[in-house]
Amino acid sequence: MYVVYAKHLIYNTPKSEKDSHLTERGIIKLLCQQLSANEIAKKLFISEQTVKNHCYRIITKLETNNVIGIILFAIRKQIFTI
């Protein structure tokens, strides 16, 4: 499941989807730094609701239940290191 997600991030996605995936990766990195949705929104110059929408999509793609699952994914895929 994680491999499919990683491939989807890299291969043959339209520009708008690539931009979305780059934003999702940025949000994942910021979540790993313990930033709130409001803080992430300010850093990325997007609304807090947009951050929450991205988080929901990430959680759905990873088939996890919460942000902790996102962080565990990031550590496993070395998007974020401890």
- Answer whether residue 61 is part of any domain: yes
Would you place residue 12 in the very low, low, confident or very high pLDDT band (cuts 50, 70, 90)? very low
CATH of the domain at 35: 1.10.10.10
Would you place residue 71 in the very low, low, confident or very high pLDDT band (cuts 50, 70, 90)? very high
Residue 22: the pLDDT is 85
Q: Give tens-digit pLDDT for 30-58.
A: 999 999 999 999 999 999 999 999 999 99
Q: Which domain holds residue 27?
A: 2-8+16-76
- Answer whether residue 82 is part of any domain: no
Single out the residue of 25, 40, 28, 35 nearest to residue 71, CA to CA: 28
Residue that has been written with the tokens 């239940």 in this structure: 65
Q: Any residues with CB less than 8 A from the CB of 45 and at least 6 apart, and which?
A: none
Cα(67)–Cα(75) distance, integer angstroms: 13
Cα(42)–Cα(12) distance, integer angstroms: 30
Q: Total domain count for the chain?
A: 1
Would you place residue 20 in the very low, low, confident or very high pLDDT band (cuts 50, 70, 90)? confident
Residue 36: the pLDDT is 97
